[in-house]
Amino acid sequence: MSDIEETDGSEGADVASGPVAPHRVIGTPAPAPRLLGSNAPTTAAASSEGAGGVAVAEHDEEIPQPTEEEIQRGNRAEKIIVACFVLAFLAGCGFIAAYIGLPVGLDRLAPGGNAVDAALRSNLALGTSLAVALLALAVGSLLWVRLLMPDVEIVEERHELQSAPADRAAFAETFKQGAGYSQIVKRPMVRRSLLLGTLPLVAAPLVLLRDMGPLPGTSLRHTVWSAGRRLLVYGTNQPLTAADFSAPGSMITIVPEGYEDDPDALTKAAVILIKFRPGELAIPVRTQGSTLVGTMNWTVDNIVAYSKICTHIGCPVALYEQTTHHILCPCHQSTFDASTGATVVFGPAARPLPQLPMTVNTDGYLVAKSDFTQPVGPSFWERG
Amino acid sequence: MSWINARRRRPVAGYAALLLGLVVVGLLYGAFTRSSSSAQASSPPASQSDINTGKDLFDATCSSCHGLDAQGTSQGPSLIGAGAAAVNFQVSTGRMPAKEVGAENERKPPVFNAQQIAQLGDYVASLGGGPAVPDAQQVSTSGANTGLGEQLFSTNCAQCHGFAGAGGALTYGKDAPPLTEASPTQIYEAMLTGPEAMPVFGDGSINPSAKRDIIAYIVATRKEPNPGGFSLGRTGPVTEGLVVFLGGMGFLVLIAMWITYKRRDPRPQGTE
């Protein structure tokens, strides 16, 4: 009980109810808990003091003395366990050696070195040595527990969650004492000016959050497509005529001319172009409010263009089955029927893929008639 | 055997036996379904005798589904205008003659040799033209732009075939096959003709040079090292998750069972 000491000026300590419970200075460790319960002999409690209080002593007489055969087995187990720990030591040394000895990165390799192969070698050596080291430690510890330690169940009771009454009384007393010394009640102007001083700092995050970037404005409702902009094949940037795209069942990814290499624009403006056999494509006239969002008039010679951005959460949809005319989203299996205006036939998407109004220009190239007439991609709060 | 007898009644033995059985079944399945590499098609000039031989082969093996004049039946589509490229792709990959009418014809060893495939192709081409078998020059990957091929592949092919060409599942039992065994000629023909559910990538939209770039990318991915160690078929995070979930967690569960498995006390009862 040496870690308990009387505080100076502790006249108020008399409020503690217990006759022999001295009150404790806040911040100092508690006296060793009596884990064995109130009826445990004091000698057992004393022996467990400071060692986490595991009540081993109580079980001493329950652990039987090992037999000669058990000692023999224990000696064999000891060798295995020691071998495991030595292996862990060697593998750990190997890890350090591999870290120092196997360089990665072009700047540390010899001229002409292959950075990928070097990383492969280094990863393999580091991973293997670390895995062996940790595994050997684990296996050694496990064998120790299973083969050497006695197989006796030991119960460790939790201490009570509530503090002792004396501790709680001491806390209240110290708090009141501190409040009195600081005169925070007696001098209200100090208290109020302190609150006033912290107020701007509390409000400051609001100002900072408000300035975190420009508002999106109407940018979610528009893409870079505009009247007369040609449809280019992504990658080769080749413009297409209807004759270029004449094989029924064709599908290709399209980007708007002028934004071929602009990833920001393409995240919304990417389009898939699909060619149907005559008679297979039948897009009904669809309107949203007074806005036309789907019609056969926007197709050219059984070629139709849909937004490639899924209306669920914006994955690129290009998984097209020409036999069923289904466009699938690889992320969540939203399925759209391309022959009826990319209407949803399955999955979590809420709306058809927007159809790009398309026509041909005087040179015969496929061009956009206008921008999409509805926002592309996933829903957003103000979409309506 | 005594080693097994001593341990077969342990609780762990059941799990071990189940695991062993699954591994054996998996290995046997893999051994029997591995298909051999396919025959390469040559393109000799089409003569009337080749066409006649092709017609005989067609009547004997294909006409029951595609009709005596390749006009198509309820079982198989018309082949008029399908072209020699489609015939070469389907027959050289063993997909035709089909084993059964199902969701998808799987790749298997070809039934006909290269000459017979060419004769069949000549016959079908004589019915109404269609795309021809590409020659070696057209499918050569020397000097091709692999980077552009990667761009085109990832935007137009990867959704179904996977970013490394490992294949993937489609709807209603269909699937996009892995591209690990397809020859450059077969890849070219598949793009040109759009077999089964695959869309067509005609020369108008993906020009022959771009097709070579795509083939070069597919071939290059096969040679890529796997810096992570096991490739797991390169089918992506789903496989890795499954392996970790079933293999890793199963292993940990077995370990946990072993740790908590109570030893039988060798001492007779009641000595304490």
The answer to whether A319 touches A301, Cβ cutoff 8 Å, is no
Nearest-Cα residue of chain A relative to residue B161: A319
Query: What is the predicted pLDDT for the residue at A300?
Result: 92
Query: Which range among A69-78, A112-121, A309-318, B187-196 shows the weakest confidence by mean pLDDT?
Result: A112-121
Residue-averaged pLDDT of chain B: 82
pLDDT at A384: 67
Question: Does A364 lie at the interface with B, CB-CB under 8 angstroms?
Answer: no
What's the rounded mean pLDDT across residues B87-109? Answer: 85
DSSP A330-359: TTT--EEEGGGTSEEEESS--SPPPBPPEE
Inter-chain CB proximity B201 and A238 less than 8 Å: no
Instruction: Tell me the DSSP string of B167-217.
Output: -EE-STT-EEPPSSS--HHHHHHHHHH--TTSPB--TTTS-HHHHHHHHHH
Collapsing DSSP states into helix, strand and coil, what is residue B58?
helix
Show Cβ contacts of residue A298 under 8 Å, excluding neighbours closer than 6 positions. Answer: A283, A304, A305, A355, A356, A357, A358, A359, A369
Tell me which DSSP letter residue B246 carries: I
Task: Identify all chain B residues contacting A246, using CB atoms and an 8 Å cutoff.
Answer: 202, 204
pTM of the predicted structure, to 2 decimals: 0.66
Query: Does the pLDDT of residue B83 top 70, yes or no?
Result: yes
Q: Are A234 and A259 in contact (CB under 8 A)?
A: no
Q: Does B263 touch chain A (CB under 8 A)?
A: yes
- Alpha-carbon gap, residue A317 to B158, rounded angstroms: 11
Residue A62: predicted pLDDT? 62
Q: Tens digit of pLDDT for each residue in A215-240?
A: 888 888 999 999 999 999 999 999 99
B254 touches A: beta carbon within 8 Å: no
Q: Is the distance from CB of A88 to CB of A136 less than 8 angstroms? A: yes
* pLDDT category of residue A23 using cuts at 50, 70 and 90: low
- What mean pLDDT do residues A163-167 have? 92
Positive or negative CA dihedral for A69, A71, A74, A75?
negative
Question: Quick one: closest CA in B to A121, which residue?
Answer: B227
Q: Does B268 reach chain A within 8 Å, measured CB to CB?
A: no
Return residues 119-138 of A near B (CB < 8 Å).
119-120, 123-124
d(CA B105, CA B92): 13
Q: What is the pLDDT of residue A46?
A: 42
More confident residue, A52 or B221: B221
Q: Which residues fall within 8 angstroms of residue B196, CB to CB, at 6 or more apart?
A: A323, B104, B105, B174
The predicted structure's pLDDT at residue A4: 44
Hey, is A326 helix, strand or coil?
strand
What ipTM does this complex have?
Answer: 0.72
Q: Where are the beta strands (DSSP E) in chain B?
A: 168-169, 175-176
Looking at the partner chain, which of B148, B197, B266 has a beta carbon nearest the beta carbon of A322? B197
The mean-pLDDT minimum among A251-265, B41-55, B175-189 falls in B41-55
Among A317, A323, A335, select the one facing B197 at the smallest CB separation.
A323
Answer yes or no: is pLDDT of B43 > 70: no
Which residue pairs, CB below 8 angstroms and at least 24 apart, start in B45-49?
B46/B122, B46/B125, B46/B126, B47/B122
Does B225 touch chain A if contact means CB atoms closer than 8 Å?
yes
- Nearest C-alpha of chain B: how many angstroms from A129? 15
Q: Per-residue pLDDT tens for B191-242?
A: 999 888 899 998 888 999 999 999 999 999 888 877 666 777 777 777 788 8
The answer to whether B155 faces chain A, any CB pair under 8 Å, is yes
Q: Which residue has the higher pLDDT, B268 or A331?
A: A331
For chain A, positions 63-102, list CB contacts with chain B under 8 A.
64, 67, 69
Which residues in chain B are closer than 8 Å to A318, comparing Cβ atoms? 155-156, 159
Helix or strand or coil: residue B91? helix
Q: Is the pLDDT of residue A311 over 60?
A: yes
**Which residue in A275, A279, A273, A254 sits closest to A265, CA to CA?**
A254
- Given this model, what pLDDT does residue A326 score? 93
> Hey, what are A272's tokens?
């898939």
Share of residues in chain A with pLDDT > 90 (%):
53
Comparing CB atoms, the residue among A119, A238, A250 nearest residue B202 is A250
Residues 294-333 of A with CB under 8 A from B: 316-324, 326, 328, 330
Query: What is the pLDDT, as a whole number, of residue B104?
Result: 80
- What is the distance in angstroms between the Cα of B66 and the nearest Cα belonging to chain A? 17
Give B250-268 pLDDT, tens digit per residue.
999 998 888 777 666 555 5
Cα(A127)–Cα(B182) distance, rounded to whole angstroms? 35
The distance in angstroms from the start CA to the end CA of chain A is 71
Give the highest mean pLDDT range of A261-265, A367-371, B134-138.
A367-371
Q: Averaged over A241-246, what is the pLDDT?
A: 90
* Res. B164: pLDDT tops 70: yes
Among B205, B213, B221, B261, most A C-beta atoms within 10 A, so best to mutate, is B205
Maximum Cα–Cα distance across chain A: 105
**pLDDT of amino acid A182:** 92
The phi and psi torsions of B99 (rounded to 5 degrees) equal -70, -40
pLDDT at A77 over 50: yes
- Nearest-angstrom CA–CA distance, A347 and A353: 13
> A249 vs B267: CB contact, 8 Å cut-off?
no
Residues of B whose CB is below 8 A from A115:
none
Q: Say if CB B111 and CB B178 are below 8 A apart.
A: no
Which positions in chain B touch A274 (Cβ < 8 Å)? Answer: 199
B196 and chain A in contact, CB less than 8 A: yes
For A51, other C-beta atoms within 10 Å of its C-beta total 9
pLDDT class of A156 with cuts at 50, 70, 90: confident
